[in-house]
Amino acid sequence: MISDAVKILAPTVFSFFLGIAITPLVTHYLYKHKMWKKKVRSVATDGSEASMTKSFNAQNEIRTPRMGGIIVWFSASLTVLVFYLIAKFIGNGDLSKLNLLSRNQTWLPLFTLLFGAITGFVDDYFDITKSESQKEGLSSKKRLFLIFIMGLVGAWWFFFKLQVFSILIPFAGEIFLGPFIIPLFILVMFGIYAGGVIDGMDGLSGGVFSIIFSAYGLIAFYQNQIDLAAFSFVLVGAILAFLWFNVPPARFYLGETGSMALTVTLTVIAFLTEQVAVLPIIALPLVVSAASSSLQLLSKKYRGKKIFLVAPLHYHFQALGWPSYKVVMRYWIFSVIIATLGVVVALIG
């Protein structure tokens, strides 16, 4: 008999080993074609010189490939497809339960995962293959426009297809938003996407994202959204396969193809579980990364001085003298504790 737990755990394990299996091929391609930046970023977002950031990223940016996120989204998507085919063409009886594709739970997160991955891949490709005179990848305006389109499609699906008109606030109950759910969805997607700046330090993004998606997988399981829980943990398995090769010294980084895919998908899962209100808790490391970068930029523009030695915040700790591995492991520990708190609030609120 295939239980709900087996339906979740079997694809998770498959996704992990699939990611491990395809990594040599991805690695060979990335290194053969030198899929890394050809020069270190030396200018901050506001146009000022980023000398400290340049010193931190000198080796990471020019000798470590981007696009490692391919392992995550390809492994996760292929796992979903494989288990769908098993259930449809091989499955009889219990095996038919292995399908985790469902219209109301996993269609939208799978769509956003793939759309975000392809968009991010294009950005990575242009960024890596640009000539010295060209700007980096897609412009910020183009990236934000594509995020807006993804957010608009997702919001439309929630409002018109899934009939979602309210959000749940822990300990306060549901708050009716009506059509205002659409701009809220788009704003949340923008905010979480901004947290993708957490990528770039060996082992950091993989550990944090795996913890966040595990938390939402547990919430979905508690809500009996088994397909969504399985999908969340499939992502965890794929992220852990990426992390296996991303720990120091990192063989590659997520790149936009990974961080964009994961952040936009996280937004969708948060809304599907009706636990978007606890997203700032569970995903606090992403929120802090995005907020520290924004605060740094605003402070330099309007106050003429910096708040942090370097932004995002994890580089500030490195600038204080913490070894990068200490920053990463403490982020992991903090992520586990804060995600656990978020799950508790979601379950009892």
The pLDDT tens digits along the chain (349 residues) read: 578 899 999 999 999 999 999 999 999 999 998 888 766 655 555 455 555 555 555 555 667 898 999 999 999 999 999 999 988 888 666 777 889 999 889 999 999 999 999 999 999 998 888 755 455 567 888 899 999 999 999 999 999 989 999 999 998 899 999 999 999 999 999 999 999 999 989 999 999 999 999 999 999 999 999 999 999 999 999 999 999 999 989 999 999 999 999 999 999 999 999 999 999 999 999 999 999 999 999 999 999 899 999 999 999 999 999 999 999 999 999 999 999 999 999 999 7
- Where in the sequence is the domain holding 187, given as residue range(s)? 4-348
**What pTM does this model have?**
0.93
CB–CB of 89/1 below 8 Å? Answer: no
Q: What's the structural domain count of the chain?
A: 1
Dist. CA 274–CA 290, nearest whole Å: 23
**All residues at 6 or more sequence positions from 117 whose CB lies less than 8 Å from its CB, including other chains:** 69, 70, 73, 257, 258, 260, 261
Cβ proximity of 202 and 249 under 8 Å:
yes
Q: How many residues does the chain have?
A: 349
Report the alpha-carbon distance of residue 55 to residue 64 in Å, rounded.
15
